[in-house]
Structure 1
Amino acid sequence: MGHIASNKDDLLKRVKRIAGQIQAVERALESDHDCAKTLHLVAATRGAINGLMDEIIEDHAREHVANPALSDAERSQGVEELLEAIRRYSK
């Protein structure tokens, strides 16, 4: 996946921010923080993960589905990979 390499630093920054958000949720649970605040932390983390997923889906679609240089077989494979990832994510 060479196309991810061009975006690698930005994606890794996002992942590190998400890891920090997960740690904040863990700290909130360990400290018996108010459940409303903990819910907000979880919601923010989910939003961040959704944003990361959206970005990677878009990159995959552009590179492995919409790229006119690809053969029909390569595009078909790209669509199947994308659909499988979406199915797994939706569960």
Structure 2
Amino acid sequence: MSHVQENRRKLVARVRRIGGQLASLERAIEGDEECGAVLQQLAAVRGAVNGLILQVMEGHLRAHVAGNGNAKQQDELLPVLAVLRSYLK
């Protein structure tokens, strides 16, 4: 089973939260929100999407690249994941 399917509930919940953030952003743009507030919401959406990307990417690397059972390969992923986390922050 794919790591995406295994984590379906968490991923869907995360996507729904992002959808709520986007709806709020749309309301802010359609309304008379200050540009600072809109920029803050945009940054929040970007952070949420980056978090989702990181979660799926980490699952992919652990499941398909390093292999779930190989401890040595899993350990070798740690620096790669650290770089991805810092980049997608």
- Name the TM tier (shorter chain): 0.7 to 0.9
> How far apart, CA to CA, are the structure 1 residues paired with 2:19 and 2:39?
17
Could you tell me which residue of structure 2 aligns to residue 8 of structure 1? Answer: 8
Q: CA RMSD in A?
A: 1.4
CA deviations on 1:56-79 (whole Å, 9 max, x unpaired) are 00000011100077xxxxxxxxxx
Could you tell me which residue of structure 2 aligns to residue 36 of structure 1? Answer: 36
CA deviations on 1:24-64 (whole Å, 9 max, x unpaired) are 11000000210000100000000000000000000000111
Q: TM-score with structure 2 length normalisation?
A: 0.73
> How far apart, CA to CA, are the structure 1 residues paired with 2:59 and 2:46?
20
Matching residue's letter, 1:41 = Q
What secondary structure does 2:11 align onto? helix
Matching residue's letter, 2:62 = R
What secondary structure does 1:32 align onto? coil
Ranges of 4+ aligned residues in structure 1 off by more than 4 Å? none
Matching residue's letter, 2:6 = S
- Unaligned 5+ segments in structure 2 are 70-89
**How many residues in Structure 1 have an aligned counterpart in Structure 2?**
69
- Unaligned 5+ segments in structure 1 are 70-91
Q: 1:68 to 1:17 in 2, by over 3 A?
A: closer
What secondary structure does 2:67 align onto? coil
Could you tell me which residue of structure 2 aligns to residue 56 of structure 1? Answer: 56
